[in-house]
Chain A
Amino acid sequence: MERIASHPAAGQNKALPGDFAIWIFIYAELLVFGIFFLAYAYTRAQHVALFNEYQQHLDRESGAINTLVLITSSYFVVMAVNAVRRGAARRCGQWLVLAIGSGGVFVVVKLAEFAARHAEGVTLSTNTFYMFYLSLTFFHFMHVLMGMVILSVVAVKAYQGAYNALEHTGVETGASYWHMVDLVWIVLFPLVYVLH
């Protein structure tokens, strides 16, 4: 199994970027979110009117802004990996700081959204739609926080000079996780905020 991670990246048969162990994690996370998404979709099929009605109450703009923020953040992370592959560890750290900052924007926007729902008295028990909305977005929110922690560790190590053009598995590992968080939101936003 370890050979997969240390396999030289070449041609059509390159290895997964980063540590193989994080990919086990990523696949497991995708599985959980996938099950959650399908649970939402099939429960909605039984309560179409309810879901359509309460979807109107969501803050679509904040959802869209957060999508743009996460996409941009993912782009910064790509640039960070790109930088460290050239050996520019410091530049890599700077890109990561930008990515973490974008993550911070996501967190602030999301918290404002949660606060607004809270002020309206919405809870997990209000109705099935809100149960899914809060569960899905909160579960994803925890992943954003987790991703920011991982990226912060990587950024600190990048500034300390722990990575170079030859050895930067840590950067790729953190980057892969962050892209997963982005990928999941790309599905979540249209599903919960837009589709009806």
Chain B
Amino acid sequence: MDMNARRALQVWLALVVLTLLTWAVGRAGLGGAPVIAGILLSVAVKGQMVADVFMGLRGVRSPWRWMVSGWLLVVLVLIGLAFFTGET
């Protein structure tokens, strides 16, 4: 198996684990600020892995890569803010 294929498989595995974790959190009915922050962080990690390895954006010249990373960051941070303002 060449390097690309191995890395893709590693990313797939990581994505599956993080997804199952998210699902378990939902099933356990956990909520609140720390849980929200944790899940959003895991989404950021998942999204960046998809962008870098699946989409192949790692090493792509700017601004094309950071436009996806920036999208993830802005959307997730703003979602987080909305949830925290809603929580209190």
Contact = CB atoms under 8 A, between A and B. Distances in A.
A41 interface: yes
Interface stretch (A70-78, A102-110, A117-125, A142-150): A70-78
Interface string A29-62: 0110010011001101110100010000000110
B contact face: mostly helix, strand, loop, or mixed: helix
Nearest to A30: B71
Interface string A154-178: 0000000000000000001000100
A34 B75 contact: yes
A71 B86 contact: no
Contacts of B2: 82
B41 to A, nearest CB: 11
A195 B15 CA distance: 18
B22 A190 contact: yes
Contacts of B68: 30, 183
Contacts, number: 135
B31 interface: yes
A52 to B, nearest CB: 8
A141 interface: no
Chain A interface residue number, banded: 35 or more
Given A74-B50, A190-B39, A67 B61 contact: no
A74 B56 CA distance: 12
Contacts of A180: 55
A16 interface: yes
Interface string B50-69: 11011111011100100110
A134 to B, nearest CB: 19
Nearest to A43: B82
Contacts of A139: none
A26 B72 CA distance: 13
By Cβ-Cβ distance, the 7 closest A-B pairs, closest first, are A45-B86, A41-B82, A64-B23, A194-B26, A75-B12, A13-B61, A78-B8
17 contacts: A13-B59, A16-B64, A38-B79, A64-B22, A64-B26, A67-B22, A68-B16, A74-B12, A81-B56, A82-B8, A179-B50, A179-B54, A183-B50, A183-B68, A186-B50, A190-B26, A194-B39
